[in-house]
Amino acid sequence: MSAAPEVVVVGAGPAGLAAALTLSRLGVRVVVFERGEYPGAKNMFGGMVYPRRLESLLPGLWEDAPWERVVTRHRFLLLTDDASLAMEYRDQAAAEPPFNAATVLRTRFDRYLADQTSAAGALIVPGTVVDDLLWEGDRVVGVQVRRDQGAVQARLVIAADGIQSRLALRAGLRGPLAPQDVALGVKELWALPEKRIRERCGLIGREGASYTYLGAATDGLPGAGFLYTNRDSLSFGIVIHLAALKSSGRTPASLLDGLRSHPCVRDILQGATLLEYSAHLVPERGLRMMPRLYRSGILLAGDAGAMALSTGLVTDGVGPGVASGVCAAETAFEALGLGKFDEQALASYPRRLRESFVMPELETFARMPDLLTSSRIYSVYPQLLTDLAHAIFSADVRPRQGFWRLARNAASGRLSIGELMRDLWKTSGALR
């Protein structure tokens, strides 16, 4: 790129690369600054994406994207220290394009997306930290980078620099993160031969599985454990509400050790070799923590704008990240056409997010974070339901009791009618 950029994108994750790819295809000069040694070097997530949400940006991704496995089985397990209760959703049709979900490794997937972006004409500059914004009055006009060129001017800046976005703070679009707004995701990558993965998870060929663990998985703290099958590795870890983790005095390492030793996980990981360990903050409160998304000369995309979905059973950060990057790019292109970059010129950004799936989903599940911080979900209910299952499936010389009596016995001393009704009411409000 010989001429100065029209748009600077900060962050080469899915949101930033989607914005840069969209703008490049529209003929806009774009430079992307990424602090990692290459796109994907510093990006971490559990491991599953929803390809149909990426198809409009990446036609033909079914054939050439670096998928690990196509997910056909979703397993949800309630754990106590020595028991588990599982539910499985299996969709064999999802094994064929257009498949619903797939596991990926970010080091490969982000590089693939970066290759598409570079081929479209964007300049990606890795190993570069953006320290600050450049201003003319109250309008952002570029960025200050930790490189020889120092100041890089542009008509617009798209900040896609993650949940701890330095640029969102510098622009006054949000304040410091609060512990109750975020969770800590901790992930291990374990190498295991393909044959063993297929045998242990009941898979055929390139089929994959996702596992979500609740209850003893996090020692009763708000959060969950996860395991995703890759081609010849397993992505395993936990996501813990940060405020609860801090007040508990527990460490992520001790929680991971506990979940790793549970029979439900131990049997899958047996004989695997640890390859890497990573950690990452995750936006948890959706609309409740969303910052202002724009001001004169700057737009926020992806995790920088807290645009990640968590429903308790489904987590999606890549899909909303890519969609928000496209919306930010379209808004920027419109502003470039007008030759205006003030707040009024960028005011169509929220409308585009509402017309996509991003804002409607966040609005639908806006109350879910309040439900997911209830301690009973992770302590009382897993123990109650596994005890009930034990009573149903156990037999001795005594006559079997009816289901409702067994349920009352399991709940006795653990859960009052009032607590149950309050939880049901909160659940109905969250799921509305």
Task: Tell me the pLDDT tens digit for each residue of 239-248.
Answer: 999 999 999 9
| 168 lies in the same domain as 183 | no
Cα 247 from Cα 290, distance rounded (Å): 24
72: in domain: no
- At 312, is the pLDDT very low, low, confident or very high (cuts 50, 70, 90)? confident
100: in domain: no
Cα 289 from Cα 281, distance rounded (Å): 14
425: in domain: yes
Cα 295 from Cα 305, distance rounded (Å): 13
Task: Tell me the pLDDT tens digit for each residue of 3-29.
Answer: 789 999 999 999 999 999 999 999 999
Answer whether residue 415 shows pLDDT above 60. yes
2: in domain: no
Query: Strand pairing partners for 212?
Result: 76, 226
Point out the domain boundary residue: 224, 257, 283: 283
Task: Tell me the pLDDT tens digit for each residue of 325-364.
Answer: 999 999 999 999 999 999 999 999 999 999 999 999 999 9
Please state the length of the chain.
432
Cα 212 from Cα 224, distance rounded (Å): 7
For the segment 157-180, the average pLDDT, to the nearest whole number, is 95
Burial class (CB in 10 A: 0-12, 13-18, 19+), 343: middle
296: in domain: yes
Cα 284 from Cα 413, distance rounded (Å): 32
Point out the domain boundary residue: 258, 283, 308: 283
Q: Can you tell me whether residue 338 is helix, strand or coil?
A: helix
For the segment 405-426, the average pLDDT, to the nearest whole number, is 79
We report the CATH number of the domain holding residue 272 as 3.30.9.90
In the chain, what percentage of residues exceed pLDDT 70?
A: 98
365: in domain: no
Cα 263 from Cα 241, distance rounded (Å): 24
φ, ψ of residue 298 in degrees (nearest 5): -145, 145
Q: Can you tell me whether residue 247 is helix, strand or coil?
A: helix
| 147 lies in the same domain as 212 | no
pLDDT, residue 396, reads 77
pLDDT, residue 203, reads 95
Name the residue with higher pLDDT: 389 or 400: 389
Q: What's the whole-number average pLDDT of the chain?
A: 92
| 333 lies in the same domain as 419 | no
61: in domain: yes
Cα 233 from Cα 330, distance rounded (Å): 38
Answer whether residue 263 shows pLDDT above 70. yes
CB atoms within 10 A of CB 347: 12
pLDDT, residue 138, reads 96
CB 307 within 8 A of CB 286: no
SS (H, E, C) 182-227: EEEEEEEEEECCHHHHHHHHCCCCCEEEEEEEEEHHHCCCCEEEEE
CB 36 within 8 A of CB 42: yes
Q: What is the span of the domain harbouring residue 393? A: 370-431
- At 431, is the pLDDT very low, low, confident or very high (cuts 50, 70, 90)? low
List the structure tokens of 306.
């807290």
| 200 lies in the same domain as 340 | no
Q: Please state at what angle helix 14-25 crosses helix 318-338, rounded to 10 degrees.
A: 40
Give me the numbers of helices (H) and strands (E) for the chain, helices first please: 16, 20
Residue pointed to by tokens 């997530």: 45
B/e letters for 18-31, b = 16+ CB within 10 Å, e = fewer, are: bbbbbbbbeebbbb
For the segment 56-85, the average pLDDT, to the nearest whole number, is 93
| 296 lies in the same domain as 381 | no
Q: How many domains does the chain have?
A: 3
